[in-house]
């Protein structure tokens, strides 16, 4: 008997998941997509299976704007295991070296200033970055080590929250592309004892905070009681990740031409940069960029939501 093709729903918005421990970001995405029965889905940057916390999941029209969340600043809390280094710079790797820990609170505080502000990081081999089309982690698993270009990142906040004899807990606010595993590993080397990430929790992703998230268990309970449509209550608007962008509201006439790809003028527009756009009814219809002649050029459009 022929298998019946599943008909998925055309739903749009963002669900802020508190990603559970042990899940890849994609596995978490596919689980929530199934609970929604959503046609189109994407996430906004991977969290390691070891990591938990804020993972914005985009559905439908919201996937058009996932790149802007991917590029946003992030916040983390991490527990560093002092005295050991591992192949992956976290608890999932094999121990490479064990050293005595003779540092305390004041020693840790003393090295932190060198890791604040703009810094350079060499991405870890166990990462999703690609070399000749192959993710580095696949090369690493095959025993290969390749040269990686240093990258510039910014650590806006690095605070020691507490420490025990062989552990230290940090709060980190950082720019996109920052590897917390590399940061912890580098701090460990600065201390002379080595370190790896034992726990990692993302507390912030762009404008979204941990307090706004929903757990997978909560989503499953709502689905079990009310089906796919019941899960819709957790969907945030597609532009909720762009709330700090300037907002323009077009007239019915301007919105019509703009949605057909034509740049239009708006007296209240800023002189340059990206903007969010609503139609005359207050419905989000896309994002635009202010051109040199002062008109708003459409960049990503939403025709119906």
By annotation, the residues acting in catalysis are 48
Distances (CA, A) of 305 to 32, 237, 249: 20, 10, 17
Residue 38 is given by DSSP the state B
Instruction: Determine the Cα angle at 79 with ends 76 and 81, to 5°.
Output: 145
CB 12 within 8 A of CB 162: no
- In 42-132, where does DSSP find H-type helix? 66-70, 105-111
For residues 109 and 53, give the distance between their C-alpha atoms in angstroms, rounded to a whole number.
26
**What are the residues whose beta carbons fall under 8 Å from the beta carbon of 103, sequence distance 6 or more?**
82, 191, 192, 193
For residues 72 and 136, give the distance between their C-alpha atoms in angstroms, rounded to a whole number.
23
**What are the residues whose beta carbons fall under 8 Å from the beta carbon of 91, sequence distance 6 or more?**
50, 81, 196, 197, 198, 199
For residues 156 and 228, give the distance between their C-alpha atoms in angstroms, rounded to a whole number.
40
| Structure tokens belonging to residue 35 | 């609970």
Residue 7 is given by DSSP the state -
Residue 239 is given by DSSP the state T
| Structure tokens belonging to residue 19 | 């990603």
Among candidate residues 52, 141, 154, 147, the one with its CA nearest the CA of residue 93? 141
CB 305 within 8 A of CB 236: no
For residues 267 and 89, give the distance between their C-alpha atoms in angstroms, rounded to a whole number.
52
């Amino acid at each position: 008997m022929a298998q019946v093709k599943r008909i998925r729903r055309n739903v749009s918005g963002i669900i802020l998941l508190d990603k559970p421990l042990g899940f890849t970001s994609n596995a978490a995405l596919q689980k929530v997509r199934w609970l929604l029965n959503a046609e189109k889905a994407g996430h906004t940057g991977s969290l390691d299976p070891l990591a938990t916390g804020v993972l914005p999941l985009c559905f439908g029209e919201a996937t058009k704007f996932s790149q802007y969340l991917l590029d946003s600043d992030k916040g983390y809390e991490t527990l560093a295991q002092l005295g050991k280094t591992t192949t992956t710079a976290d608890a999932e790797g094999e121990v490479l070296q064990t050293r005595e820990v003779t540092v305390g609170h004041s020693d840790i505080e003393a090295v932190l200033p060198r890791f604040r502000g703009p810094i350079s990081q060499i991405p870890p081999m166990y990462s999703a970055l690609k070399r000749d089309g192959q993710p580095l982690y696949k090369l690493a698993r095959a025993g290969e080590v390749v040269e990686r270009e240093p990258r510039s990142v910014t650590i806006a906040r690095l605070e020691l929250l507490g420490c025990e004899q062989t552990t230290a807990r940090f709060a980190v606010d950082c720019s996109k592309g920052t590897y917390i595993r590399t940061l912890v590993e580098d701090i460990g080397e600065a201390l002379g004892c080595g370190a790896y990430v034992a726990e990692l929790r993302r507390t912030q992703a762009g404008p979204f905070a941990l307090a706004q998230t929903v757990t997978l268990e909560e989503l499953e309970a709502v689905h079990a009681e009310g089906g796919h449509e019941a899960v819709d209550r957790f969907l945030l608007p597609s532009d909720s990740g762009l709330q700090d962008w300037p907002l323009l509201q077009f007239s019915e006439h301007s919105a019509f031409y703009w949605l057909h790809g034509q740049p239009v003028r708006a007296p209240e527009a800023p002189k340059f940069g990206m903007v969010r756009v609503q139609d005359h009814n207050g419905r989000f219809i896309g994002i635009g960029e202010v051109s040199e002649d002062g008109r708003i050029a459409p960049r990503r459009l939403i025709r119906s939501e």
